[in-house]
Amino acid sequence: MIHRMLKIPTDENLLLFGARGTGKTTLLKHSPLYEKAVVINLLKGDVERQFRNDPDALAEIVKAMPAQQTHVIVDEVQKVPKLLDIVHDLIENTSKKFILTGSSARKLKYGGANLLAGRAFVYHLFPFNYFEVTDTFILNDSLRWGMLPKIFSYVTDDKKHRFLEAYTNTYLKEEIWGEQIVRQLDPFRHFLEVAAQMNGKQVNFSNMARDVGVTDKTINEYFAILEDTLIGFYLNPYQHSFRKRLSKTPKFYFFDPGVVRALQGQLSVPLTEQTSVYGDVFEHFIILQCKQLASYTNSEYRFSYLATKDGAEVDLVVERPGKKILFIEIKSAKQVEARHLRTLLAMSKDHGDCEAVCFSRDNFVKQIDGITVYPWQAGIEHYFLNSGT
C-alpha cells in the first residue's frame, strides 16, 4: 500500500470526489474507520438497482446498525443521487458518520440532488503525486504513462498501454454513455480526441466546433462534462492591469498525462527529450503536481496563467493569500540559462510586486537575473508542500 497524502478525518461526514481509478476505495479500506463501517458499493449492478428502486432502504440499514458500527460508506453516490436526501436526514437524526465517494458531480449538481451543504466536508483525491511514490518514481515513465495508481502495478509497457486504452474506453462507456450524459457518443468521442490534442493550449471553441462538427454551445457543454466528471479542469487567464493587452481565453488540462496520451493515440510513441512535445508533457505534469499538492495542504491558492496578445506567456500564476503573487516558468531543460527566462523576467518586471521562479530539470538551485531556478522537485516541495515558508 502506497501511503497517500490526503488525510481524511474519522469523526466527520465526508464527500470524497475523484476520477475513476484514483484510489478512493483503496484509501478508505486502509483507514481505521473501514472496519467499523457498513459499505454500500453502487458500482455493483444489483446494489445500484436495489437502492435506486428503494432509497429508503438505507435508513432501514442504518437503524439496524449496532453501536460499534460507526460509519456508512456509499461508493459512487452519483449513481443514486436520491440517497443524498436520505443521508441528510440520517445525519440530522442519528449519530452515524457518512462517507460518500463520487467520480462525477454532474448528476448531483444538475439533478437537483441535496449536496449536504454545511453537513459534510468535501475532499478531492487525485492520481499519485511525486511525494507519494518517491522511491519508485521515474520521471520519463510518469510523463509517458501518467500517475494513475493502477499503472504502478504493471511492469511491462504493453500492460500499461493496454490498461490506459481500457481506462479511456471504459470511461467513454460507463461514465458518459452508460450514464446517458451525452446522447450521441461519436461526436463526443471525436471531441475527446481533439481536446486531448489541445491539452494545455488556449481553447478556441469555434475551431473545435468546426473540427468536431457540432455547435460552439455543444463544445462548451462537452468541456463542462469533463469538469463535472473530474477528468479535467480549466486554467483561466490571469487578469491584471498590465500596460499590455492580456489574453482572456482559458486553457484546459486533463487530470493525467497518461490519459491524454491514450486519447491522442500516442502511447506507443516514446517521449523524446529536447522536443516540444516533451516540454508540453513536462509542463502539464508540473502544473498537475502543484494543483494537487495545494488541494491536499488545504491552501487557498488560486491558479491561472498569464499570456499577452503578442504571445508572451508565464506558465503558472499562483495567488497566495498574504504573500506575493508567484510567477512560475516551467522548463524541461536540464541546464537553464538566462535566455530561457527572458519572458519571465520581462513579465515579472511588468507586474511589479511578485516572486518569479523557474521549475526545471536542472540539478541545482541557481539565481539568474534575480530569478530562482529550482530542480522541479525542490521547487514544488518549497512552494506547495511547505507552502513557501
Pick from 65, 42, 66: nearest CA to 55: 42
Are 108 and 134 in a shared domain? no
pLDDT recorded at residue 180: 61
pLDDT recorded at residue 67: 94
Are 291 and 230 in a shared domain? yes
Is 89 within a domain? yes
Is 275 within a domain? yes
Pick from 63, 101, 124: nearest CA to 298: 124
Is 3 within a domain? no
Is 103 within a domain? yes
Residue 244 CA to residue 343 CA, distance in Å, equals 13
Are 179 and 261 in a shared domain? yes
pLDDT recorded at residue 183: 72
Are 232 and 140 in a shared domain? yes
Neighbours of 260 (CB within 10 A): 24
Q: How far is CA 302 from the centre of its chain?
A: 15
Residue 72 CA to residue 342 CA, distance in Å, equals 55
Q: Is residue 293 within 8 Å of residue 380, measured between CB atoms?
A: yes
Residue 129 CA to residue 149 CA, distance in Å, equals 10
What is the rounded end-to-end Cα distance, in angstroms, of the chain? 30
Last residue in a domain, options 75, 94, 124: 124
Are 115 and 179 in a shared domain? no
Are 113 and 233 in a shared domain? no
Last residue in a domain, options 101, 124, 147: 124
Residue 153 CA to residue 103 CA, distance in Å, equals 22
Q: What domain count does the chain have?
A: 2
Pick from 126, 121, 144: nearest CA to 271: 144
Are 114 and 135 in a shared domain? no
What is the pLDDT tens value at each position of the chain, 389 positions in all? 789 999 999 899 999 999 999 999 999 999 989 999 999 999 999 999 999 999 999 999 999 999 999 999 999 998 898 998 899 899 999 999 999 999 887 767 655 455 666 678 889 999 999 999 999 999 999 999 999 999 999 999 999 999 999 999 887 766 677 666 777 778 888 999 999 999 999 999 999 999 999 999 999 999 998 998 899 999 999 987 555 566 789 999 999 999 999 999 999 999 999 999 999 999 999 999 999 999 999 789 999 999 887 778 999 999 999 999 999 999 999 999 999 999 999 999 888 889 999 999 999 999 999 999 999 999 999 999 986 44
Is 329 within a domain? yes
Are 163 and 74 in a shared domain? no
Question: Which CATH number fits the domain that encloses residue 68?
Answer: 3.40.50.300
pTM of the predicted structure, to 2 decimals: 0.94
Q: Is residue 326 within 8 Å of residue 359, measured between CB atoms?
A: no
Is 5 within a domain? no
Q: Which domain holds residue 218?
A: 129-389
Query: Residue with C-alpha cell 499590455?
Result: 244
Last residue in a domain, options 68, 89, 124: 124
pLDDT recorded at residue 111: 52
Query: Residue with C-alpha cell 450514464?
Result: 179
Q: 161 CB contacts (<8 Å, ≥6 apart)?
A: 267, 268
Is 1 within a domain? no
Sequential DSSP letters for 179-234: TTS-S-HHHHHHHHHHHHHTTTSB--HHHHHHHHTS-HHHHHHHHHHHHHTTSEEE
Residue 271 CA to residue 269 CA, distance in Å, equals 6
pLDDT recorded at residue 106: 75
pLDDT recorded at residue 46: 96
Are 112 and 155 in a shared domain? no
Query: Residue with C-alpha cell 497517500?
Result: 4
Is 8 within a domain? no
pLDDT recorded at residue 112: 47
Are 169 and 237 in a shared domain? yes
Are 70 and 153 in a shared domain? no
Q: In degrees rounded to 5, what are phi and psi of residue 241? A: -80, 55
Are 72 and 37 in a shared domain? yes
